[in-house]
Amino acid sequence: MEIRCGYRIEVVCHQPTPAILLLDPHPSRDVDIVSGPNGAVTSLADSGDVPCVEYADGFGNRCRRLVVPPGGAAFTNDMIVRDSGVADAADYDAQEVFPGELPSEVLEYMLSSRYCEVDELSATAWQLFGKYPPGWNRVQQICNYVNAQIRFDYQCARNTRTAAQAMNERVGVCRDFTHLAVALCRCMNIPARYCNGFLGDIGVPRDPAPMDYNAWFEAYLGGKWFTFDARHNMPRIGRVLVARGRDAVDVPMVHTFGPHILQKFEVITEEVPAT
């Protein structure tokens, strides 16, 4: 199957403002891109092209550096990505890996990070999930708990909310579901990393308020990374990964080194009808 992914994001700045963009598919999806791998950046003042330099960050994500000109810039893309059409892989027999045997590059996904307070939540996590046999089912039980604990409400989004705050406030958006699930997994000595990307309503009833851009996470079990989604809490078709990191602080869609105003944010993710 083919999936159309696109966006138009406009930011307004009053002075030259350096920025980093993480907006386009992860390099691991390069072989699947049919058209439009890298988006355009144009000045809102004169519609001219804004120069960008691409690089890979420490997590292997595709990033672009630029300087937003005075007046602001528009970030746009309209791409076609080929997808298997298969739902998220599952291995219900996958076991946890003893921390002493984990690969060194996985260890950072066991630690506290900006939005995931492992130390603060550890005792609670063991009380809640210590009774479950280690492995796939324990991660699923964490997803079940987070899905029931947090009420999704986009109007209550707050970019400073941490995992512990999400647990206590019981409201949030997909990044809050993901932060809490990631933190609880790490508390149980299960490496977990934050992911974001395009995810439309493909193979499921259409959401009356589609988001099209979502956060989920990957847990390390049986020597492999597996996808989990505490927000939707079911295998989904058509995830197009953009970035991975310790939490949302590592993978902002747009990061500016100076003040900006978000003027427009439009994202689309939809299956291309077969011809």
pLDDT higher than threshold 70 for residue 178:
yes
Would you call 169 helix, strand, or coil by DSSP?
A: helix
pLDDT higher than threshold 80 for residue 208:
no
The Cβ-side half-sphere exposure at 160, using a 13 Å CA radius, reads 0
- Tokens 């930011």 correspond to what residue? 11
Do the Cβ atoms of 187 and 122 come closer than 8 Å?
Answer: yes
Kindly state the DSSP code that residue 115 receives in the 8-state scheme: T
- Residue 45 pLDDT level (bands cut at 50, 70, 90): very high
Greatest CA separation for the chain: 61
- Residue 209 pLDDT level (bands cut at 50, 70, 90): low
pLDDT higher than threshold 80 for residue 91:
yes
**Domains of the chain: residue spans and CATH:** 2-84+253-271 (2.60.40.2250), 99-237 (3.10.620.30)
- Residue 25 pLDDT level (bands cut at 50, 70, 90): very high
Do the Cβ atoms of 24 and 38 come closer than 8 Å?
Answer: yes
